Amino acid sequence: MIQELRSQFPILQRYVHGGKPLVYLDNAATTQKPQSVIDAISNFYTTSNANAHRGGHALGAEATALYEGARSTVAEFLHAQHDSIVFTRGATESLNLLAVSIERTYGARLAGKSIVVSEMEHHANIVPWQLLCERTGADLRVIRVTDDGSLDMEHALEHIDESCAVVSIVHMSNVLGTINDVQTVCARAKELGAIAIVDGSQYVVHHDVNVAEIGCDAYVFSGHKLYAPFGIGVLCGRYEFLAELEPYQTGGAMIDRVSFEKTTYGEPPVRFEAGTPNIEGAIGLGAAIKWLSGLDRDAIRTKEHSLAKNLVEGLESDSRVRILGKRHALNGIVSLVVDGIHAHDLGVLMDEQGVAVRTGHHCAMPLMQRFGVGSTLRASLAAYSSREDVDAFLHAFSKSCRMLG
Ligand code: PMP
């Protein structure tokens, strides 16, 4: 089964560094794309290329149908309604859109209020809120992470109080693999009248999502981590929440009427999609979701879990290795440091052996600070990861460690 699945990814057949088979374990940064996604993009340009929502001609109608069809596919995937899906450039743009639109909508009422995030957020879910706080006089509050890499739920429930205007929490950490109980966090936020936002960038790759069950006002992710192209992402908002929000960018496509005296805006989702959208990206994302939906996701999750266990057990044979948030690593993201060896040096040597991993702060500097490290080496799994990938990783890892002393 795994060989058949891998054969759908042309890039996995290639070699790097003069003949080393590619071992790709940087999936939390971006996943590779199956042939069906590559074909969907190529077919669009070959047969239907035109601007969506513009031309009255045949190609324009086809492009519009494909673009809106992709929106329906995303909506079904998240158990949301069609008009709740806003296409963006990625999770980063979705979060910036939310911060700016919330500020424009609620403005001065945010002064003295609090915005709650956690210590394990990606910078994309910190900086837009930090800037909003600087501009409005709101206060940024941070939920602690425990020593074992979990969200401190007691602290979370204490922190989310009457002063809270927005809670924005990651569903699955891109560093630790921790899966947060976002349902409880969102319920608490909603009980107090706050806006509840979830960053699902990593979670959505491995798990089914039902936004109504989560109870959030908005759920965001990027396409490129979900086997889809770059430059496309999703903001799935509760429709009534979106309908209240002021726009983010303005211009063509997002308006109702324009005159020099006054402009009125369209309804969501078009209100948040100014200008020509990334049509090929949306089509590619739709194809990726269809591809993913054709797989047995439970079986893939079980396999990823078992591979992560092999990784952790293999790493533990070296007493110098410390895995951050080890109990969460089984979710498919393993971050580690090695006593006396810099993660970057390890990453370079492993790359020379064909093993692609990520080293650095993973856009989560506050979390690095929390664990007292500057950077980690991260291996992250995807549906096509194999036992051979794990064995190659462990072999290259111990060889590199030996070389570095
Ligand atoms: N949030 C999380 C949890 C992520 O892992 C990432 C990507 N590393 C982002 C947000 C930002 O995604 P993008 O750069 O695709 O906008």
Q: What are the residue numbers of the active site?
A: 363
What pLDDT digit, counting tens, does each position of 292-346 carry?
A: 999 999 999 999 999 999 999 999 999 999 999 999 999 999 999 999 999 999 9
Is residue 69 located within the same domain as residue 16?
A: no
Nearest to 327 by CA among 312, 307, 306: 312
Predicted structure pTM score:
0.98
What pLDDT digit, counting tens, does each position of 183-219 carry?
A: 999 999 999 999 999 999 999 999 999 999 999 999 9
Candidate of 27, 87, 92 to mutate for ligand 1, largest count of ligand atoms within 8 Å of Cβ: 92
Amino acid at 282: A
Q: What's the CA angle centered on 122, arms 173 and 23, to 5 degrees?
A: 60
Q: 352 pLDDT exceeds 90?
A: yes
d(CA 43, CA 48): 7
For the chain, the domain total comes to: 2
Q: Are 116 and 160 in contact (CB under 8 A)?
A: yes
CB atoms within 10 A of CB 67: 23
Ligand 1 pocket residues where CB is under 6 Å: 90-92, 122, 124-125, 170, 174, 199, 201-202, 222, 224, 363
Closest-CA residue, ligand 1 atom 8, reads: 29
Is residue 239 located within the same domain as residue 385?
A: no
d(CA 362, CA 242): 30
Q: What is the DSSP letter of 335?
A: E
Q: What is the DSSP letter of 246?
A: P
- pLDDT of amino acid 356: 98
Q: Which strands make up the sheet holding 321-323, listed edge to edge?
A: 321-323, 333-338, 376-380, 358-360
Interval between CA 92 and ligand 1 midpoint (Å)? 6
Interval between CA 125 and ligand 1 midpoint (Å)? 9
Sign of CA dihedral 240, 241, 243, 244: positive
Is residue 269 located within the same domain as residue 344?
A: no
Nearest to 387 by CA among 30, 23, 27, 28: 23
The minimum-distance atom of ligand 1 relative to the CA of 170 is 3
- pLDDT of amino acid 102: 98
Is residue 113 located within the same domain as residue 171?
A: yes
CATH classification at residue 222: 3.40.640.10
CATH classification at residue 365: 3.90.1150.10
Q: 268 pLDDT exceeds 80?
A: yes
Q: 147 pLDDT exceeds 90?
A: yes
The minimum-distance atom of ligand 1 relative to the CA of 172 is 3
Please report, for the chain, how many H helices and E strands are present, in that order.
16, 17
- pLDDT of amino acid 138: 98
The minimum-distance atom of ligand 1 relative to the CA of 92 is 16
Which residues sit opposite 356 in a β-bridge? 24
Is residue 23 located within the same domain as residue 136?
A: no
The minimum-distance atom of ligand 1 relative to the CA of 362 is 8
Residue 227 in tokens: 């086997």
Amino acid at 287: A
Interval between CA 201 and ligand 1 midpoint (Å)? 6
Candidate of 169, 171, 174 to mutate for ligand 1, largest count of ligand atoms within 8 Å of Cβ: 174
Domain final residue, candidates 248, 274, 293: 293
Is residue 275 located within the same domain as residue 369?
A: no
Is residue 137 located within the same domain as residue 211?
A: yes
Interval between CA 180 and ligand 1 midpoint (Å)? 16
Is residue 255 located within the same domain as residue 329?
A: no
Interval between CA 68 and ligand 1 midpoint (Å)? 24
Is residue 132 located within the same domain as residue 209?
A: yes
Domain final residue, candidates 262, 293, 324: 293
Q: 141 pLDDT exceeds 90?
A: yes
Interval between CA 30 and ligand 1 midpoint (Å)? 9
Is residue 265 located within the same domain as residue 128?
A: yes
* pLDDT band at 56; cut points 50, 70, 90: confident
Is residue 62 located within the same domain as residue 142?
A: yes
Q: What is the mean pLDDT of residues 64-87?
A: 98
- pLDDT of amino acid 54: 77
Domain final residue, candidates 293, 316, 351: 293
Is residue 389 located within the same domain as residue 247?
A: no
Candidate of 119, 178, 363, 367 to mutate for ligand 1, largest count of ligand atoms within 8 Å of Cβ: 363
Q: Are 111 and 240 in contact (CB under 8 A)?
A: no
Q: 55 pLDDT exceeds 80?
A: no
Structural domain boundaries enclosing 325: 2-30+296-404
Strand pairing report for 85-88 and 114-118: unpaired
**Mean pLDDT estimate for the chain:** 97
The minimum-distance atom of ligand 1 relative to the CA of 171 is 3
